[in-house]
Structure 1
Amino acid sequence: MSEDKTIPQQRPPAQDQTQILAAVDGQLRQTIEIILETGIALNDFEGGPHNHIYQKLNSIVEEYKELDRLAENVTVTVPRQVIEYVDEGRNPDLYTRQHADEALKKNQYMKGKLDTMKVPQVQWHVDEDFLLICVTEF
């Protein structure tokens, strides 16, 4: 029988994740810039040698390779709902705000329910204490 000798992947410390995410952010910005430059080059292309276009396309491929390499170290997960929200062209900050507002409303609702349950309990304790005082004094 062979034993599974795989080593569980450990999460990098938060500081490392911050640095990794900063590197991914920078790489994404650079990739977007190259894609925009390629679009401009394609738009301005009027025939002739294709070397410049090929270089731009190869640059995009290299940028994607670098993003893929950086992605191996990222342990942050993004909920599918957020990705779908962004795919629909909506602002992810609004998604966060809406969910925070919903959580706040639910929290206030539950607090109200708990507060209404506390009133009879307090009343019961007051009634019980009052009876004890009355019994001991009379």
Structure 2
Amino acid sequence: MAPVTSDLPQVQDSVSTTLTLLFQTLTNVSLYDSAGRPSRDSLASDLSSLDDSLLKVHRLANALPPSSTPGIPLPLMEYVENGRNPDIYTREFVELVRRLNHLTRGKMHAFRDFRDVLAREMGAAMPEIKEDAMRVVEETGALGRCCWVRRGE
């Protein structure tokens, strides 16, 4: 058998077709009349089409190079398998990232303030290292001599 070459849009179209066939099969199963010949033939035809469509999806998906498939996080897959909405997962994830960013920003400001206070107090306690402390503060991102200006120095 020749290798199947495919791209992501083909796989997506194939999955969409499979879902349509699955819905159609579901409808025919719910309307199935065990005594009626037409519904039995229709259901058999739908199942055959569904089988062919699933096989096509499988072949196309396996032919995709690993780099072209989007990585879906395992926690998201488990979330969806448990019957939950992936949009809610995304919203919760964004909120978690926002909270962690806020926390990290607070820590950065706290360390910046600690750096300034430490340098100021070291300069006040040991005047001989004041210039070195100022240089360290300036090289670590302080704007000008802000930590020295606060005390009027």
**TM-score over 0.5 (shorter chain):** yes
How far apart, CA to CA, are the structure 2 residues paired with 1:110 and 1:45? Answer: 60
Sequence identity percentage: 24
Aligned partner of 2:48 in structure 1 is 58
Structure 1 unaligned residues grouped into runs of 5+: 1-18, 134-138
Structure 1 SS opposite 2:7: helix
* Pairs aligned (count): 115
How far apart, CA to CA, are the structure 2 residues paired with 1:39 and 1:107? Answer: 46
1:126 CA drift (Å): 4.5
How far apart, CA to CA, are the structure 2 residues paired with 1:117 and 1:77? Answer: 36
Structure 2 SS opposite 1:78: coil
In structure 2, the CA distance between the partners of 1:125 and 1:35, relative to structure 1 (3 Å rule), is: same
Aligned partner of 2:134 in structure 1 is none
1:67 aligns with 2:54: no
Amino acid at match of 1:107: N
Select between 43-52 and 84-93 the one with higher mean Cα deviation. Answer: 43-52
Q: Which residue of 3, 19, 22 maps to 2:9?
A: 22
Amino acid at match of 2:17: Q
**Highest RCO, 1 vs 2 (Cα 8 Å, sep ≥ 6):** 1
How far apart, CA to CA, are the structure 1 residues paired with 2:107 and 2:30? Answer: 62
The question of whether the paired residues in 1 share the 8 Å contact of 2:18 and 2:50 is answered with yes
- Output the TM-score relative to the length of structure 2: 0.63
1:80 aligns with 2:74: yes
Aligned partner of 2:26 in structure 1 is 39
1:59 CA drift (Å): 0.4
The question of whether the paired residues in 1 share the 8 Å contact of 2:8 and 2:69 is answered with no
How far apart, CA to CA, are the structure 2 residues paired with 1:88 and 1:34? Answer: 24
Structure 2 unaligned residues grouped into runs of 5+: 1-5, 132-153
Q: Radius of gyration: which is bigger?
A: 2
1:106 aligns with 2:95: no
Aligned partner of 1:94 in structure 2 is 88
How far apart, CA to CA, are the structure 2 residues paired with 1:33 and 1:121? Answer: 62
Amino acid at match of 2:15: L
How far apart, CA to CA, are the structure 2 residues paired with 1:87 and 1:27? Answer: 21
Amino acid at match of 1:42: V
Structure 2 SS opposite 1:84: helix
1:77 CA drift (Å): 2.9
